[in-house]
Amino acid sequence: MSEPPGAAVSLTDAPPPASDAPSKPFAAQRVLPLRRPGRWIATAVVLVLAAQFVHGLVTNPFYQWDRFGYWFLRPTILDGLVVTLEVTAYSAVLGLLGGVLLALARLSKSPVLRAVSWVYIWTFRSIPLIVILLFLYNFSALYQTLSVGVPFGPAFFTFDESRLATDIVVAVVGLSLNQAAYAAEAVRGGILSVDQGQHEAAAALGLPKGYQFRKVVFPQALRSITPNYVNQLIDLVKATSLVFYVSLLDLFGAAQTMGATYPGDIVPLLLVVTVWYLILTTVVSVVQFYVERYFARGATRSLPPTPLQKLRTGVSDLRARIRRETAI
């Protein structure tokens, strides 16, 4: 600055510069948005690249879209899809139940429960899923019967392992064991996120312990559990493709088998699998949106709009804007 500080202060008393001062008061002036040419250029570049990608996807004969159409709804593929859905559904529910129990054990005041839960989570997060699945697959050879009873004492129930352990059971047990370890951490995080004041208020009202958890703490925890758990659920959907290695024909397994029989169709078969997984993930994401919206009750002053509501307000906003623009 060339001017001394005193001069800067005196500027406030000086008359405003007369150069381009508007004739009307500021309130009446419409503010024009800043032009952003860089943004327009970047948008154009991305659009061109995207168009090229889509063009390649459609026209490249390598993808064999006619064969894709042939395979997409074949019964073999749909049977595989059903297996994928079954395995996912069972494992998601059992994994979440196991996760809640493990999380409660980790938050318990008993050091033994805490340690057991910690060791379980540590173990099953460390072992690759495929290793767990192959272990279980060979389990029936290691232990022919499974008994429930006192250790070294009498057994109350005995199961014949080879009869119990069908392929789907092996797959669901393996995925659930793995899923529970991850779900436990998501659930624990959710429970910890509930304000201490909520526990105190529930205790001060004399609410029974089980009621405190089911009706006060857990519903609030679910709000932060949901995004984390859905993330794992999407992982789970794809992880089911590993059950092919324990001779279960899921979506991926079905495509793989068909690919072995029709080697020329491997690429369209992989595309079929890709599109089905995309659809499953989309469904999970849509469900997630509504589940989160449900648990947001009371947490926010107003609920986030559904896509339909967004579309409606978007259209009416656009109309209003057009009316404004054309009126001037």
If one asks whether residue 203 binds other proteins (CB under 8 A), the answer comes out as: yes
Find out whether 95 and 186 touch, Cβ atoms under 8 Å.
Answer: no
If residue 27 lies in a helix (H) or strand (E), which one and from where to where?
none
Nearer to other proteins, 189 or 219 (CB): 219
Number of residues that bind other proteins (CB under 8 A): 24
Among 27, 58, 142, 204, binds other proteins (CB under 8 A): 204
CB 299 within 8 A of CB 223: yes
* Residue with smaller CB distance to other proteins, 125 or 297: 297
Q: How far is the CB of 213 from other proteins (least distance, A)?
A: 12
Q: Which of residues 207-246 bind other proteins (CB under 8 A)?
A: 207-209, 211, 215-216, 219-220
**DSSP assigned state of 208:** -
**Residue type present at position 60:** N
Listed ranges 109-117, 160-168, 194-202, 311-319: which one lies at the site for other proteins (CB under 8 A):
194-202
Residue selected from 119, 201, 283, 318 as contacting other proteins according to rule CB under 8 A:
201
Identify whether the C-beta of residue 223 lies closer than 8 Å to the C-beta of residue 237: no
Classify residue 284 by burial, with Cβ atoms within 10 Å: 0-12, 13-18, 19+: middle
Which CB, 297 or 310, lies closer to other proteins? 297
Stretch that binds other proteins, among 100-108, 112-120, 137-145, 193-201 (CB under 8 A): 193-201
Pairing of strands 155-160, 145-149: antiparallel
Say how far apart CA 134 and CA 245 lie, in whole Å: 8
Please, what is the minimum distance in Å from the beta carbon of residue 232 to other proteins? 23
Nearest-CA neighbor of 248 among 75, 68, 82? 82
**Closer to other proteins at the Cβ: 160 or 200?**
200
One-letter amino acid for residue 95 of the chain: G
Residue 300 within binding range of other proteins, rule CB under 8 A: yes
What are the start-end ranges of the H helices in the chain?
5-10, 37-59, 65-72, 75-106, 111-126, 129-137, 139-142, 161-164, 167-192, 196-204, 209-211, 218-239, 251-261, 266-295, 307-327
CB of 297 to other proteins, least distance (A): 6
Should residue 109 be labelled a site residue for other proteins when binding is judged by CB under 8 A? no
Q: Which of positions 280-299 make contact with other proteins (CB under 8 A)?
A: 295, 297-299
Among 24, 35, 301, 324, binds other proteins (CB under 8 A): 301
Shortest Å, Cβ 108 to other proteins: 14
Residue ranges that bind other proteins, judged by CB under 8 A: 195, 197-198, 200-209, 211, 215-216, 219-220, 295, 297-301
